[in-house]
Structure 1
Amino acid sequence: MLRAEAAIPVRMRRVAIVAPEKALRESLVRIAEAGCVEIDLAGDGGPEVRGPAATRLQRLRAEPAHPVLSEVPLDLDALEREGRADLLAGEAQLEERIGSAVRHGTVAALAGWCPETEVGATAARIAGAGGALVPLRIPRGIDPPTLLTGAATAPPAHPATTVRRSFTPLVTTYGTVPYADLDPTMAAGIVYVAMFGLMFGDAGHGLLLVVLAFLLRAGRPRRLAALRPLWPFIAGAGLAATLAGVAYGEFFGPTGVLPVLWLEPLEEPMRLLAAAVGLGAVLLAVAYAAGIVNRWREGGPSAALYTTTGIAGAALYLGLAVVAGYVWLGQVAYGVVGAVIAVVGLGLAGAGLYATTGGGPGGAVQTGIQLFDAVVRIGSNVVSFARLAAFGLTHAALGAIVWDGTTALTGRGPVGVGAAALVFLLGNALAFSLEALVAGVQALRLEFYELFSRLFEGEGRPFKPWHLPVQHLTPSSVATGAPTAAEAVPHAQAREEWS
């Protein structure tokens, strides 16, 4: 069961890492090992100041190494002589953070961000080193960094968490969700697989995608192991395509294996088109509703009321939809009510747009152009969902061509049967590959341009915690060039990456 908190990004706390100067290094090492605190660095964007470890690392000119921290201070000269770029890189990061600390007497402090649920555990971790993690108030005008729930440290075996993580790239590819906004990950994933299924509606092809997803889950093929976290996403797309194929009566084309439960795309294209546009209209309405919530959370009632992605835009959309109902049904009342709602929406949106201009005649002209664009966009966005039907028809047409070619060859003896099997296999392989690519791209385009453009008006900043593996080393182990089994026991297993 999904938690209510899953609808918003992970709640962040502003924190200060406070420690006596002599305990600062150990406290920071424990922070790095925990991997759940983003530390503010001094001098961002200014001239780079190199510490002793960074200077030695630059002189070493070694290949880029994965930074590692030692629990105890080590001889930097010995690290340089032995070519330990990994440890020098870790020490260089540690130097950067120690150098960013604010000092008062013998006490040093660093500010940063930590997920609210991790504050207690992190505070207990560094308390053993003599440090403290102190919650602070969030400064005015500063938005916390964003961490989506799918990237948090929920148990990987939890089904909802696994599915959410597979959907997360859909959102992060578009941009970073502002901290104040809703987290659309689960909704975006469900909408994407539904749209993909409508365009890729074939039960046979959908089942192939499901099989591919479970092969990825099993780590096969190995060269695609990096895609393993996406297996629920691919399985969902395959399941949606399978269900759509069952509704269309398509199983590797119109083979007759399945009865038509809803409609046959090539026989009823207008009905499929109407269903696609209707679905698009519903999705746009939901996007406007989410946009209103986001504008309210970002800037309060006025921001929600006057923006074209808030109440003003939603009223304009609703009014135009009611007017479209008048055109479709011929009821004059629909036309009057729709026109009134649309005019109210235009007035609110115009007031909001004019307030962002320099005023005067130029501002009025600019506002008029933007309002015209808003009306045109609504119409074009609704019609854009017709591509769900168009590409569904294309997939069905390809399947029909392959099946017609197959059946035409089967009555020509053994050679014809072999040729028919070849045509069936190669034709379906081509249709599967081509349509999977096209449907995937088109579903992404609809989600980004038609839906996400109403959800988000700005972009947030991603949460980037400092995380390095920590090893137990002694100064004598460096002289060997590599720690011994007894001296280089890894510290507690590094926490799963946040992002």
Structure 2
Amino acid sequence: MSIEPLKLVTIGGTPALLNPALQACLESGVFHLENAGAILPGAEENALPPEDNPYAQLLKDFTAMDLQEVVDPKAAEDGETMSPEFIRENLERIAAKLSSLKNDYTAASEKITEYRNALLHLQHLKGTEDDLGKVLQCRNIVCKFGRMPAESLQKLELYNNPELLFRAYDLAHDYAWGFYFTTPKQATVSDGIMKALLFEEFHIPAFIHGTPQEAMTDLQTALEEQQQLADSLKKERTAILQAESQLLSRIYRYLLYREEIYRLRSQCLITKDKFTLMGYVPITRLDDFRKCAERVEGIVTSYEDPPDSAAISPPVKLKNNRFSAPFSMFVEMYGLPDYRGFNPTTLLAVTYTILFGLMFGDLGQGLVMAIIGFVLGLRKKKIALAPILTRIGISSAVFGLLYGSVFGYEHWLDPVFHNIGMDFLPLHAMEHTDWFIYGAIGIGAVIMLMAITVNIIVKLRRKDYADAIFGNNGVMGFIFFAAILGVLVCMLFTDINLLTAPYVICLLVLPLLMMFFREPLGALVARKPMHHTSVVDFIASNFFECFEFILGYATNMLSFIRVGGFVFSHAGLMSVVMVLSEMMGEGASVVVVIIGNLFVMCLEGLIVGIQVLRLEFYEIFSRCYDGKGKPFTPIAVRYPESVSFKS
């Protein structure tokens, strides 16, 4: 199919109308914005610098708030206007409420963590009836609670410090838990000693009093109170956010909208008294765009064909039929064509489908693939490969019918063909190896000739007569390659000798010489001066290029041997599955066949798919396609599916 024709749209007006004009372009959904300065060289000299976005800081402030649980930009609608002051006032009001709650919640969370840790530590003091409040509130003694390795108890005795005492209350997991006591004067020295002994201090809340058991009861009560407080604060925060959710969603959507508007302004030319906005619209959607543009009073809109200049490359929107449309993802993977180039999607779709069927021919497995692709295509969340799977599955089934292969059983269809009088079918791979090898090379040769023909047509449309006539993928290359093929076919399958003097001179030597002298001949045809180089450099470079051309014809054609190779590979793998199934019992045999078919479908199907894509890119596209175009991307505000901010 072709490439969607476009119109170059130019919009002008006073600077005050730029934002409404951009809004109209956004609403149309069919406008691809271009940098006006690139299309109008020299016009940037009088242009003003981009205007600062008054909403940029507000958007940063908004995203700094932890609001992802209630903000849904898709729940709001476009069309309303909000001043920066209105947005700032509401954000500050909501932020003040949330900030106070957040501070209280943080304090409660810290206490919850502290109390939980204290409860864990006090478990090690259950064996004492000492009043912890009195111990911790001593004035003339420094008291610290914690643990240290049990082996450090003996090391502590070696210090022989009368003003340092460690009292162990529990030994657990190679640690001694307890208090160490020291005098205020010796506190620094004692801390150093205990640190050397790997003592870890654990904080006990100041309000603790009574025995450890009583203290744990008080701690549990305090912990529950803090948990209730934290829960109530969370509920209060949720209530505030739910009450403000609609306003917040509207604000966020509007901020994203204004952010996009000011980003698009940088692509426009703005002077003191006017602006210029340029872009492309598909001809089929021109009426829809006009309706949106006419709503903005005071702007002037003009429509013209894209300029015929190599310096300006319009975007590309592929126009494909229903069969080839899913394969456009492969074209985009390689690169889109130039606007005035050739849309290779249909060529790729047809050749990919046929080659896959040839390499993975199995009636049963092909139908399973087609059904899987059809079912996946029915899902709401579309899978791009699903329609491709349906097409190549049908192709695999068709060629599997010709091969007589049904889930690896090679002779199930023999009686069918015999009864209808087609005894030459099925074509069993292992019985016709020569046919498949020669056929694979022949298919490759035909596809290469087709690619060269396409390249000739494309080059002639571009008026690139030098490459179209004298290039290795031009007329001379076609004649030379076809002549070589003719010689090979006659040598292998007939007794005809084509290597006569007229044949060799006219169809081999002369085309090769024209490819050798393609630069001066091309300059002559184009009526352009030739770039002069030394005779030695000219001969050397063109000799090796012609040698590379010949080598390329051979290697590209031989690459298609893999088509026949994968036919044998598939038959070989399935024969292994059948042998394994015969070795098993009756019940296990069916399981082996099912698992074997699934394994071959997944593994070989994936490998064949990749290999066919390689043939498309390296053996076909390399001869007729460059893929240097840029995609047609209508401007739009990309509202996120889900919102996630950093708190």
Instruction: Place the TM-score, normalised by the shorter chain, in its bin.
Output: 0.7 to 0.9
Structure 2 counterpart of 1:29, from 15, 23, 32: 23
Tell me the equivalent position of 1:270: 434
**Which has more radius of gyration?**
2
Tell me the equivalent position of 1:93: 260
Note if 1:244 corresponds to 2:399: yes
What do residues 382-428 of structure 1 show as CA deviations (whole Å, max 9, x unaligned)? Answer: 1111111101110011111212322343xxxxxx1122112111111
Q: How far, CA to CA, are the matches of 2:359 and 2:500 in structure 1?
A: 33
Q: How far, CA to CA, are the matches of 1:206 and 1:453 in structure 2?
A: 30
Q: How far, CA to CA, are the matches of 1:460 and 1:66 in structure 2?
A: 33
Structure 1 counterpart of 2:609, from 440, 443, 456: 440
| Paired residues of 1:402 and 1:424 also in contact (CA < 8 A) | yes
> How many Å apart are 1:286 and its aligned residue?
0.7
Residues 100, 265 of structure 1: alpha-carbon distance in 2 compared, 3 angstrom cutoff: closer
Query: The residue matched to 2:430 in structure 1 has which SS?
Result: coil
Tell me the equivalent position of 2:543: 368
Which is further off, 346-355 or 452-461? Answer: 346-355
Tell me the equivalent position of 2:591: 422
Q: What amino acid sits opposite 1:345 in the alignment?
A: P
The equivalences for 1:25-64 within 5 A come to 25-41=19-35, 50-61=52-63
The equivalences for 1:227-306 within 5 A come to 227=383, 229-259=384-414, 261-306=425-470
Residues 27, 319 of structure 1: alpha-carbon distance in 2 compared, 3 angstrom cutoff: same
Which is further off, 173-182 or 456-465? Answer: 456-465
Residues 110, 41 of structure 1: alpha-carbon distance in 2 compared, 3 angstrom cutoff: same
| Paired residues of 1:167 and 1:233 also in contact (CA < 8 A) | yes
Residues 79, 302 of structure 1: alpha-carbon distance in 2 compared, 3 angstrom cutoff: farther
Tell me the equivalent position of 1:143: 313
| Paired residues of 1:213 and 1:231 also in contact (CA < 8 A) | yes
Q: How far, CA to CA, are the matches of 1:112 and 1:325 in structure 2?
A: 54
Q: How far, CA to CA, are the matches of 1:381 and 1:339 in structure 2?
A: 25
Query: The residue matched to 1:187 in structure 2 has which SS?
Result: helix
Note if 1:399 corresponds to 2:574: yes
> How many Å apart are 1:48 and its aligned residue?
8.6
Cα-Cα RMSD? 3.0
Tell me the equivalent position of 2:302: 134
Structure 1 counterpart of 2:633, from 455, 464, 470: 464
Query: The residue matched to 2:7 in structure 1 has which SS?
Result: strand
Residues 179, 99 of structure 1: alpha-carbon distance in 2 compared, 3 angstrom cutoff: closer
Q: What amino acid sits opposite 2:394 in the alignment?
A: L
The equivalences for 1:152-167 within 5 A come to 160-161=321-322, 163-167=323-327
Tell me the equivalent position of 1:451: 620
> How many Å apart are 1:458 and its aligned residue?
5.6
Residues 180, 343 of structure 1: alpha-carbon distance in 2 compared, 3 angstrom cutoff: farther
Q: What amino acid sits opposite 1:133 in the alignment?
A: T
Residues 199, 48 of structure 1: alpha-carbon distance in 2 compared, 3 angstrom cutoff: farther
Residues 339, 270 of structure 1: alpha-carbon distance in 2 compared, 3 angstrom cutoff: farther
Q: Give the TM-score normalised by the residue count of structure 2.
A: 0.63
The equivalences for 1:352-363 within 5 A come to 352=518, 358-363=533-538
Residues 110, 324 of structure 1: alpha-carbon distance in 2 compared, 3 angstrom cutoff: same
Query: The residue matched to 1:176 in structure 2 has which SS?
Result: coil
Residues 137, 183 of structure 1: alpha-carbon distance in 2 compared, 3 angstrom cutoff: closer
> How many Å apart are 1:132 and its aligned residue?
4.4
| Paired residues of 2:337 and 2:626 also in contact (CA < 8 A) | no
| Paired residues of 1:122 and 1:133 also in contact (CA < 8 A) | no
Residues 115, 335 of structure 1: alpha-carbon distance in 2 compared, 3 angstrom cutoff: farther
The equivalences for 1:216-227 within 5 A come to 216-219=376-379, 225-227=381-383
Tell me the equivalent position of 2:510: 344
Q: What amino acid sits opposite 2:345 in the alignment?
A: T
Which is further off, 65-74 or 307-316? Answer: 65-74
What do residues 54-102 of structure 1 show as CA deviations (whole Å, max 9, x unaligned)? Answer: 3433454458998998424322354462584443232122123335433
Q: How far, CA to CA, are the matches of 1:317 and 1:87 in structure 2?
A: 62
Q: What amino acid sits opposite 1:36 in the alignment?
A: V
Q: How far, CA to CA, are the matches of 1:218 and 1:289 in structure 2?
A: 38
Note if 1:174 corresponds to 2:174: no
What do residues 151-171 of structure 1 show as CA deviations (whole Å, max 9, x unaligned)? Answer: xxxxxxxxx43x332111121
Q: What amino acid sits opposite 1:252 in the alignment?
A: F
Tell me the equivalent position of 1:332: 497
> How many Å apart are 1:334 and its aligned residue?
5.3
> How many Å apart are 1:20 and its aligned residue?
4.5
Query: The residue matched to 1:210 in structure 2 has which SS?
Result: helix
| Paired residues of 2:516 and 2:542 also in contact (CA < 8 A) | yes
Structure 1 unaligned blocks of 5 or more: 1-5, 151-159, 410-415, 471-499
Note if 1:384 corresponds to 2:386: no
Residues 233, 458 of structure 1: alpha-carbon distance in 2 compared, 3 angstrom cutoff: closer
Which is further off, 229-238 or 97-106? Answer: 97-106
Structure 2 counterpart of 1:9, from 3, 14, 35: 3
Q: How many residues matched?
A: 442
> How many Å apart are 1:179 and its aligned residue?
1.4
Query: The residue matched to 1:114 in structure 2 has which SS?
Result: strand
Q: How far, CA to CA, are the matches of 1:137 and 1:238 in structure 2?
A: 42
